[in-house]
């Protein structure tokens, strides 16, 4: 019975985090609409963003640890507190660079594992990103260099 209750609690926490992510996205969209209306009236609102904060590049994914999501081009994908989130966070941190399996296993898994562990997480992550409408981000996870993965965002098209 304890396992079932724990599973229910975990499922409810995941649902709550997903709802929160959607709510945040809706608020941001509404704020953007209101800002556009103000701009159209010739009265732009001063940015609420602190002056020292970097502007957000929509073509560069962000990891939002508060809701355990990856955010990319206006979409969010809930990953939870999983190896997928940690793996994606590691790739985002060094976008457009390849990281070898040993480094990934050390930094993401914090343990000695087989390289198949990396490939398994990548397969699951790609499927989850595609299901969230982020096929472009899924495709940017590049494993074509033997023994390495990278988040290659600036491919020549």
Per residue in 39-76, pLDDT tens?
667 655 444 433 333 446 778 899 998 889 999 988 99
Residues 50 and 93 in one domain: no
Q: Where does the chain have alpha helices with state H? A: 2-40, 83-93, 101-104, 115-131, 135-140
Residue 29's pLDDT is 63
- List C-alpha distances in Å: 22 to 1, 29, 34, 105: 32, 10, 18, 31
Residue that is last in its domain, among 28, 55, 82: 55
Nearest-10 crossing angle of helices 115-131, 83-93:
90
pLDDT-based confidence at 33, cuts 50/70/90? low
Query: Token pair for residue 85?
Result: 């989130």
Residue 137's pLDDT is 95
CA atoms of 99 and 148, how far apart (whole Å): 5
CATH of the domain at 155: 1.10.10.10
* Domain count within the chain: 2
Under a CB-based contact definition with an 8 Å cutoff, are residues 22 and 75 in contact? no
Task: Quote the domain boundaries for residue 120.
Answer: 59-157
Residue 31's pLDDT is 63
Residues 95 and 110 in one domain: yes
pLDDT over threshold 70, residue 157 = no
pLDDT over threshold 90, residue 98 = yes
pLDDT tens per residue across span 100-141: 988 888 888 887 788 888 899 999 999 999 999 999 999 999
Residues 101 and 134 in one domain: yes
Residues 12 and 79 in one domain: no
Residues 92 and 127 in one domain: yes
**Pick the residue with more confidence: 10 or 33?**
10
CA atoms of 48 and 38, how far apart (whole Å): 14
Residues 144 and 156 in one domain: yes
pLDDT-based confidence at 148, cuts 50/70/90? very high
Bridge partner list, 14: none
* The model's pTM: 0.62
């Amino acid at each position: 019975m304890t396992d079932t209750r724990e599973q229910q609690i975990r499922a409810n926490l995941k649902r709550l985090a997903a709802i929160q992510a959607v709510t945040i996205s809706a608020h941001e969209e509404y704020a953007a609409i209101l800002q556009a209306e103000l701009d159209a009236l010739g009265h732009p609102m001063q940015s609420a963003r602190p002056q020292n904060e970097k502007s957000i590049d929509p073509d560069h994914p962000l990891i939002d640890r508060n809701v355990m999501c990856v955010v990319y081009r206006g979409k969010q994908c809930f990953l939870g507190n999983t190896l997928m989130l940690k793996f994606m966070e590691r790739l985002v941190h060094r976008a457009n660079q390849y990281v070898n399996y040993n480094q990934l296993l050390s930094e993401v898994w914090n343990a000695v594992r087989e390289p198949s562990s990396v490939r398994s997480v990548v397969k699951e992550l790609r499927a989850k990103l595609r299901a969230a409408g982020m096929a472009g981000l899924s495709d940017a996870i590049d494993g074509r260099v033997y023994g390495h993965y990278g988040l290659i965002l600036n491919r020549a098209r």
